[in-house]
Amino acid sequence: MSKNVVITGANKSIGYETARQLGQSGYRIWLGCRNEERGRAAVAALAADNIDARLVIMDVTQPDSVRAAAERIREEDGRLDVLINNAGIPGAQLVAPSTQSIDDIRSVYETNVFGAIQVTQTFLPLLRAAGEARIVMVSSGLGSLNWVSDLDHPYSAVEAVGYTSSKSALNAVTVAFAKELAKYAISVNAVDPGYTATDFNGHTGYRTVEQAASGIVWLTEQAVSVTGGFWFDGQRAPW
């Protein structure tokens, strides 16, 4: 059986391109999507490129949905080689921290942080069953405390406390899981895809989804001993 991968939030943009690149490398793709119609369209497009892609309906903020997705993959594959926690939402952008609503910030955390934790915990038995496995947390350079605290860095000017702090939290989650799971030969890393042209930013990013996805795919190719890091284009990024 070929290796398999679950990618959350994968019906478009970076998630979809990651699926396409891994599918072309021979992975079986489990496309995690909330919207069935969009998910089916994405799977059909991948299948047209001779990629083994399957839709699994999953809302990372709903535990029952995540458990049902894991159970289906357990029944059909019995294991999971790679988990890519890509699902994320931006929340309010360009708003001062003092005025961003707590409800909006909480919503961002539900997806970007608690969702990633929920998915990782739920899929852990399948990852352990693979013998060696990899978990990739799709973070952001905006989560780097080093970069956002440097007033000379362009990221320091971004006002989106819900999103930026959620990615800092996701980086901390990455380290915590990496320390626990090393003994099971499961690597856990975070990746910054860079400022990529997507719906998140009205397609104003300077990087393509192909460039963004390549850094994620690179992590899936590393030895499981490479763990607990934050990466950008194959290089360590500052926490």
Catalytic residues: 163, 167
Specify whether the backbone of 221 is left (phi greater than 0), alpha (psi in -120 to 50) or beta.
alpha
Residue 72: both structure tokens together: 């289906």
**What's the one-letter identity of residue 127?**
L
Label the pairing between strands 235-236 and 230-232.
antiparallel
Residue 6: both structure tokens together: 């679950």
Specify whether the backbone of 12 is left (phi greater than 0), alpha (psi in -120 to 50) or beta.
beta
Residue 168: both structure tokens together: 């800092």
Residue 45 and residue 237 in contact, taking contact as beta carbons nearer than 8 Å? no
Going 179 to 183 to 184 to 186, the CA torsion angle's sign is positive
Short-list 168, 195, 186, CA closest to 228:
186
Residue 63 and residue 39 in contact, taking contact as beta carbons nearer than 8 Å? no
Q: How far, in Å, CA of 137 to CA of 129, rounded?
A: 20
